[in-house]
Structure 1
Amino acid sequence: MNILLWHVHGSWTTAFVQGPHSYLVPVLPDRGPDGLGRARTYSWPASVTEVAPEGLRDAPVDLVVLQRPHEADLAERWLGGRRPGRDVPAVYLEHNAPHGDVPDTRHPFADRDDLTLVHVTHFNRLFWDAGRTRTAVIEHGVVDPGHRWTGELPRAAVVVNEPVRRGRTTGTDLLPGLSSAVPLDVFGMRTEGLAEQLGVPYARCRSYDLPQARLHQEVARRRLYLHPVRWTSLGLSLIEAMHLGMPIVALATTEVADAVPAEAGVISTRPEVLERAADEFLHDEDAAAEAGRAARHAALERYGLKRFLDDWDLLMEEVIR
């Protein structure tokens, strides 16, 4: 099967392209958002081919995976007038929880009879208003990085991109209080100068922007994984931390309450509870290791790559009939 999709979400796409199909990824000279091409920091198989827009006009495409509203028009133009959902089978993959007038947010592809709207969490499907559009949930899967946790550094790992710009959404305002309980190492894009902007000592809140190849190794050296995010979909970094065998301390928001079992760590909507839990893992390495083993077991059971790819294959067979 030839599948057209844009490189939008590096971690998700890395799992998706491990399937048995051929994947066509648009590329533009500037490698901007509509033409990133192949990933440069993730390992993708040879079955992923970069295609310029002019190369798509007559390309055999069996399925279009849309991920942003404007891609429907873009695909029709680049596919020589073939309309996703009408002339070529299509699904719309929604990565995000709704923003705006929650819980009454209408999805941009609501009331469509020509495609399937696929959510990555059950929470997202519950909160988006899709109208009459057929919906499905295919939960995340990740390429297993292995049980790498050592916990040798008595600090908490936080993975979040652009924490200052995203502010309350990513729980950035909670970091000063959490850093008083456990020293933080924040990994992600545009995290430089975070401690100064939060008004906390650098020793209590260090920040790093690392290549993907080094991220798992470095995160796994920290004693625990801290997830302070208020409102997002289920972050793949959290699932990856569980695969690494890390104990989890997280806000019990969106899908987290269903994804992280009690034995894998501590989840709560009360920051003071998270502060106490982080401090306990900091001073009890055995408890941290035990919770980490439970987190990895839960992640492999629910978010394994084979289950993810099998679910997608079943859905794609239904869509292209």
Structure 2
Amino acid sequence: MRILLWHVHGSWTTAFVQGPHTYVVPVTPDRGPDGLGRARTFDWPDSVVEIPSERLREQDVDLVVLQRPHELALVDRWLGRRPPLVYLEHNAPDGDVPRTRHPAADVPGVTLVHVTHFNRLMWDAGPAPTTVVEHGVVDPGRLWTGELPRAAVVVNEPVRRGRTVGADLLPVFARAAPLDVFGMKTEGLADHLGIPADRCRSHELVQRELHTAMARRRLYLHPVRWTSLGLSLLEAMHLGMPVVALATTEATEAVPPGAGVVSNRVDVLTQAVRDFLADPPHARAVGEAARAAALARYGLTRFLDDWERLLKEVAR
């Protein structure tokens, strides 16, 4: 099968393209948001092929995976026809959540796929056929050493996104443990939040360096209030890291008892951070449970099998 999709979410796409198909990604001269082409910081197989947008009409495409509302117009303009369509929704809804209508709800012939059951519950999908394919992660291996008594946090653009990603909570957590914040546009975060420089450091690393750096930290902290389900949380669990997370969105499903501490009480979370920092053997044991849980629920084989069943059904 030849599947057209846009390079939107690098981590998710890295798992998806491990399947048995040919994956066509549009490329534009400026490699802008609608034409990034192949990833440069993720390892993708040769089955992912870049096709200039002006040549898409020449391609045999069996199915399209949409991920943003405007991509349907790009399909009409660049492809000139509508093969079977899947709309993959990565995000939880914003705004008036109980009444948030999904952009694909009223598009004929689209199958809507959510990455978490929480998202499916919160979006109004109208009459659209809807299902869930939970995340899968390419296993980076058990890399955790925990040698650095610091907490790893992964979040992009924390200054701009603020309370949504829990940036306002970082000063509280920084008093419990020094933080290493990884992600795009994290520079100047400590100054912005008034955290002493030695208690909050910013890092921008490519994906292949990120996992090793995370795994040297004693624990993973997930302060995000409102998100679908941060793949960095699942990656940290795969690495064998103990995790501390807010009990929001899908986190309570992703982190079972014994695999970390999940709560909406900041005092409980900060104490958990202190406990992991002070007791490396405890951190190791919880991290091992986190890895086992992540492999069982978010392993790549299950993910690809679920997608294969869905793609065959939609393409019929």
TM-score under structure 2 length normalisation: 0.99
Aligned to 1:177: 172
Query: For the aligned residues, what is the CA RMSD?
Result: 0.7
Runs of 4+ in 1 over 4 A off after TM superposition: none
After superposition, what is the alpha-carbon deviation per residue over 1:148-174, rounded to whole angstroms, capped at 9, x for unaligned? Answer: 000000000000000000000000000
Aligned to 1:16: 16
User: Which of 304, 315, 319 is equivalent to 2:314?
Assistant: 319
CA contact (8 A) 1:112 1:132 kept: no
Aligned to 1:50: 50
Cα distance, 1:270 vs. partner?
1.1
Q: Secondary structure at the match of 1:103?
A: helix
After superposition, what is the alpha-carbon deviation per residue over 1:86-126, rounded to whole angstroms, capped at 9, x for unaligned? Answer: xx101000000000101211111113341100000000000
Amino acid in the other structure paired with 1:13: T
**Separation of aligned partners in 2, 1:167 and 1:66:** 28
1:303 aligns with 2:291: no
**Separation of aligned partners in 2, 1:46 and 1:109:** 31
Aligned to 1:82: 81
User: Which of 209, 217, 227 is equivalent to 2:212?
Assistant: 217
After superposition, what is the alpha-carbon deviation per residue over 1:224-271, rounded to whole angstroms, capped at 9, x for unaligned? Answer: 000000000101100000000000100000000111011011000111
After superposition, what is the alpha-carbon deviation per residue over 1:171-219, rounded to whole angstroms, capped at 9, x for unaligned? Answer: 0000000100111000000000111110010111111001111100000
Q: What are the ranges of 5 or more consecutive residues in structure 1 without an aligned counterpart?
A: none
Q: What are the ranges of 5 or more consecutive residues in structure 2 without an aligned counterpart?
A: none
1:293 aligns with 2:292: no
| Identity over aligned pairs, percent | 72
Q: Secondary structure at the match of 2:270?
A: helix
1:259 aligns with 2:254: yes
Aligned to 2:40: 40
1:246 aligns with 2:241: yes
Aligned to 1:226: 221
TM-score under structure 1 length normalisation: 0.98
User: Which of 164, 168, 186 is equivalent to 2:163?
Assistant: 168
CA contact (8 A) 1:17 1:48 kept: yes
**Separation of aligned partners in 1, 2:145 and 2:285:** 12
CA contact (8 A) 1:7 1:36 kept: yes
Amino acid in the other structure paired with 2:28: L
**Separation of aligned partners in 2, 1:205 and 1:273:** 21
**Separation of aligned partners in 1, 2:99 and 2:169:** 27
Aligned to 2:69: 69
